[in-house]
Amino acid sequence: MYSKTIKAAAIAGCLSAFALNPVAQAAEKLNGSGASFPFPIYSAWFKQFSGDKQVKKEFNSTGARVDYQAKGSGAGIKDLQNGAVDFAASDAAMDDEEIAAVERGVVLLPMTAGEVVLAYNLEGVDELKLPRDVYPEIFAGKITKWNDPKIAAANEGVDLPDEKITVVVRSDSSGTSYVFTGHLSEIYPEFKDTVGHSKSPNWPSSDNFIKAPKNDGITAQVQQIPGAIGYIEYGYAKLTGWKQVAKLENKAGNFVAPGPESGAAAIASAEFPDATLPGTEIPDLRAWVYDPAAEDAYPIATMTWMLFYADYDDDKLQVVQDLIDYTTSDQAQSQADGLGYVPLPADVLEKVKQAATYIK
């Protein structure tokens, strides 16, 4: 009887403590959702922040865990607007209308950068060059065979098959699609008028086109289908060891392979607006590089953003601040290259840290 009484009292005490301090429990987990483009590096960062003893000791003052679902930029933005997550992520940042729909306000912080690459599946073709007047026509549905004269002219001596091009595109609302179609619209105006610059483009209705969800979905389809081509984040090609990634002709007329140097050359040309987010004093850190001019720049590169509320309860605020401190640290940013991403330049990281002070 005595032991049962003591046990009951202990349980009651625990329940009472929880009732008096529920935020202590809430602080143990931060939930996020959104872009699949940065998932490999975010997955590594969040795992380290949540479980690595040294990282937790140095950065994670609350011992919190971060969980993230890669469900697409559009879905992440919706989750943020609906208050279903503690933060979101998007390669398309957010437009003014989307920002206005977040009741608690929003702070957009670029966290890393990457390249959108064209992965293909052609047996025996170890190097493929695609001119800037060719790959937009593939994704506009105008070039449909691999031995098309325009492709052949750029790949002299390469045995291109008389085979249908299967174009793999995103089925979900996607920041990667937004970046990719933004570039295609910039260099091929007709593309903007037909397919469009959008997270959910109006892809041609053709049996040449198939759809797949998220970056890993497109990667899997390209790897499985001979004659396929699709757009993915460079990190996914690197993560899977997929070697068949096209060299693309840049604005300077050079055929450039994706990689840390060519990606950094592209991101270096990003210019942030001297402005604040609408109706706020929060710095506007939305900047795009749709057609970089540098001789050695890879032509399709972008930053990708974490989206935080401007206002948090005290328990969540500390976790958010700790997480931003870690992701902007040299320790985290130095991992970008190995995972297929581009670390942010020091001056951009300073802008990020300054904007983060508006999260209260």
Statement to judge: residues 193 and 121 lie in one domain: yes
Using alpha carbons, select from 253, 269, 254, 326 the residue that is nearest to residue 302: 269
The pLDDT value recorded for residue 28 is 76
Statement to judge: residues 127 and 243 lie in one domain: yes
How large a percentage of the chain has pLDDT more than 70?
92
CA pair distance 218, 211, nearest whole angstrom = 8
| Cα–Cα distances in angstroms (integers) from residue 5 to residues 1, 9, 16, 18, in the given order | 6, 6, 16, 20
Domain count, the chain: 2
Side-chain half-sphere CA neighbours of 94 within 13 A = 30
Statement to judge: residues 180 and 255 lie in one domain: yes
CA pair distance 348, 344, nearest whole angstrom = 6
CA pair distance 260, 166, nearest whole angstrom = 28
**CB proximity list for 314: less than 8 A, separation 6 or greater:** 23
With a cut of 90, say whether residue 320 has pLDDT above it: yes
The pLDDT value recorded for residue 14 is 39
With a cut of 90, say whether residue 21 has pLDDT above it: no
Which CATH number fits the domain that encloses residue 184? 3.40.190.10
Statement to judge: residues 77 and 210 lie in one domain: no
Statement to judge: residues 103 and 127 lie in one domain: no
Q: What angle do CA 73, 78, 79 make, to 5 degrees?
A: 95
Strands 255-256 and 247-249, bridge-based pairing: antiparallel
Mean pLDDT computed over 31-45: 97
Structure tokens at 318: 């500390």
Statement to judge: residues 165 and 140 lie in one domain: yes
Statement to judge: residues 124 and 209 lie in one domain: yes
> Who wins on pLDDT, 20 or 111?
111
Structure tokens at 168: 């793999």
The pLDDT value recorded for residue 8 is 40
With a cut of 90, say whether residue 24 has pLDDT above it: no
Residue with tokens 């892809």: 203
Residue 19 forms part of a structural domain:
no
Statement to judge: residues 211 and 138 lie in one domain: yes
DSSP state of 335: T
Residue 38 forms part of a structural domain:
yes
- In this predicted structure, which of 15-24, 121-130, 252-261 has the lowest mean pLDDT? 15-24
Residue 97 forms part of a structural domain:
yes
What are the CB-based long-range contacts (under 8 Å, 24+) for 270-276? 270/303, 270/348, 272/351
Statement to judge: residues 130 and 260 lie in one domain: yes
Statement to judge: residues 105 and 153 lie in one domain: no
CA pair distance 201, 212, nearest whole angstrom = 14
Residue 6 forms part of a structural domain:
no
With a cut of 80, say whether residue 12 has pLDDT above it: no
Mean pLDDT computed over 320-334: 98
How large a percentage of the chain has pLDDT more than 90?
91
Using alpha carbons, select from 128, 179, 117 the residue that is nearest to residue 156: 128
Q: In this structure, is the dihedral angle defined by the CA atoms of residues 59, 65, 69 and 74, taken in order, positive or negative?
A: negative
With a cut of 90, say whether residue 360 has pLDDT above it: yes
Q: Any alpha helices (H) in 134-197, and if so which ranges?
A: 135-139, 149-154, 175-187, 189-194
Residue 15 forms part of a structural domain:
no
Band (20; pLDDT cuts 50, 70, 90):
very low
With a cut of 80, say whether residue 13 has pLDDT above it: no
Band (4; pLDDT cuts 50, 70, 90):
very low
Statement to judge: residues 316 and 194 lie in one domain: no
The pLDDT value recorded for residue 333 is 97
- In this predicted structure, which of 8-12, 266-270, 338-342 has the lowest mean pLDDT? 8-12
Range of the domain at 253: 116-266
Statement to judge: residues 262 and 310 lie in one domain: no
Span between the terminal Cα atoms of the chain, in Å? 51
129-183 per-position pLDDT tens digit: 999 999 999 999 999 999 999 999 999 999 999 999 999 999 999 999 999 999 9
C-alpha radius of gyration, the chain, whole number: 23
